[in-house]
Amino acid sequence: MSSRASPGRPLLLPQEIVDLIIDSSQDGTNGPLPFVHECDIMAMASLSLVSKAWYPRTRTILFRIVTLGSLSYSEDQSRQAERCKTLKSLLDAAPFLRRCIERLIIPVASIVLSPEACASATTILPLLTHVTNVTIHGEAGFTCKAIPPSLHIALYDLMARPTVDYLHLVELEDFDVVPLAQWHHVKGLHMHDVYPPGYSPKDCSDDTDPPANADGAGQLFPPCFPLNNRATLSSPEPAPGSPAADMKILSIKRSGAALQILLSCIQNSKEATLALTRPCDLYIDATKGGFDPATEKAWDTFLHLGGTMDAVKNLQLSQAFYKDADLELLEEDENRLPRNALPLSQFPRLKNLVLKTVYEYVEASEYPHNSGQDPLPLLVSALDRLARVPQAPLLELLDLSIDFLPLDWSEDESCIWDYDTEESMVELSKRVVWAQLDEILAKESVFSKLGRVKIAFQNVYGAPREECEKIVLEQMPRLAEKGVLEVMMF
């Protein structure tokens, strides 16, 4: 192949080099799930205009992640309809684009506001045969009863496809989770504020009675399977115990009732083949209100059904900030972190343990309404129990971070600390928990795989960082001597 350009004609690059240039122009940063990549939209759009040789590859990247409509709940209905119609026109004009869409975000709470948008969405979903990652996004208080039947069916048909690996379900009330129980093709499940029919956020925060289709013990009657033949006929169930039988990611946030129903299906029916109790990565949101009575019951069931969960490699327990609208819940909610919130001894192959919390949770003396939310004593107890199991733990990383932003922090307002950050940091640095962790984790014969212990105090502006680092290090001399301890204040 000649590399010389003809007179008056630019040098033509091989398509492979063009594709490589375009691929390298991406951010390359991973999204919230594997195989999801963000990109610089403007850069891709500009590169697509260079020539016809640059067009297909840029479109492959630009259409990898598509939002059907707009995530803005307040956007004009006509704009929602126009967005959906435009996407439908593009897919009709260039059918190859249908194969480019791998991640589909469906802001269903916005779409249902426009009948035209609903109609377009209903016709678009069956066309997208290569989607592997689906997000269905509602809004606080949004009920799935508002979804038209035709769109409802299209959504469940989409989720039931064997090619769909990841499901994100966010802020959905009256969402029927029972069909999910037989979708063993789903390898990543994220449920954030998902409430099945008969439950509401208030119901789950109370000790509610079981729904009407439960027996006297509160156990759900087994549902009638199969619910969707496509999931069972087109996707053979992996062999039990094989890596393909494991779930890659399970993330739960204020969705206890939904989790309990799925577990009840698995407990009562052989056709409920979702690998819910075999996640490799387990993310639990324990923000106050997260471990409500419904979630605590579901967590107990999860641990009981799972038994010894040798699939779990990574565990993250998070406690986050409250939005301003949630401040009332701070005073009313009295639930505590359950003692089994960190059941490390049930995860014999656990390698990475991440605990993220906020200062106002760990300092109960200053914040009595958060009494029982401190995860540090639970962490010490859990590690102590883990050190006593017959099989040596495989733990490689302990990552503990404590954020000093106030719970009522808001991006739209100035941060107002109602405590002395410097004094609080010093007091926290002197807690006996650091010496306890050092005593447990420094046992060479037990935690022989441990290669890194990371302790971080975040958002400590103007605080005595060096002093606090020194205090913590002095309480953890054995881990410091081994060279595995990293203490950061920033």
Alpha-carbon span 326 to 331, nearest angstrom: 10
Cβ atoms < 10 Å from Cβ of 248: 19
Please choose, from the candidates 175, 188, 180, the residue with its C-alpha nearest in 3D space to the C-alpha of residue 247.
188
User: Mean pLDDT for the chain?
Assistant: 80
Alpha-carbon span 311 to 349, nearest angstrom: 7
Angle, CA 374 vertex, CA 368 and CA 376 arms, to 5°: 150
pLDDT 10s digits, 124-149: 999 999 999 999 999 988 999 999 99
Please choose, from the candidates 224, 228, 284, the residue with its C-alpha nearest in 3D space to the C-alpha of residue 254.
284
Overall pTM > 0.75:
yes
212-220 contacts, C-beta under 8 A, 24 or more apart: 219/264, 219/267, 219/268, 220/260, 220/261, 220/264, 220/265, 220/268
What does the pLDDT average to over 309-313? 95
pLDDT at residue 83, rounded to an integer: 86
- Measured in whole angstroms, the distance separating CA 181 from the mean position of its chain's CA atoms is 19
Residue 380 has pLDDT above 80, yes or no: yes
Please choose, from the candidates 450, 444, 432, the residue with its C-alpha nearest in 3D space to the C-alpha of residue 486.
450
pLDDT band for position 487 (cuts 50, 70, 90): very high
pLDDT band for position 11 (cuts 50, 70, 90): low
Angle, CA 71 vertex, CA 70 and CA 77 arms, to 5°: 50
pLDDT band for position 3 (cuts 50, 70, 90): very low
Please choose, from the candidates 303, 302, 289, the residue with its C-alpha nearest in 3D space to the C-alpha of residue 336.
289
3-state secondary structure of 191: strand
Angle between helices 465-475 and 421-429 (to 10 degrees): 10
Domain range summary for the chain, segments of one domain joined by +: 13-62, 66-232+240-489
- For the chain, give the number of residues: 490
What does the pLDDT average to over 409-429? 67
pLDDT at residue 359, rounded to an integer: 86
pLDDT 10s digits, 25-67: 665 444 433 333 455 566 666 656 565 555 565 556 667 888 8
- For 298, the token pair is 């579901």
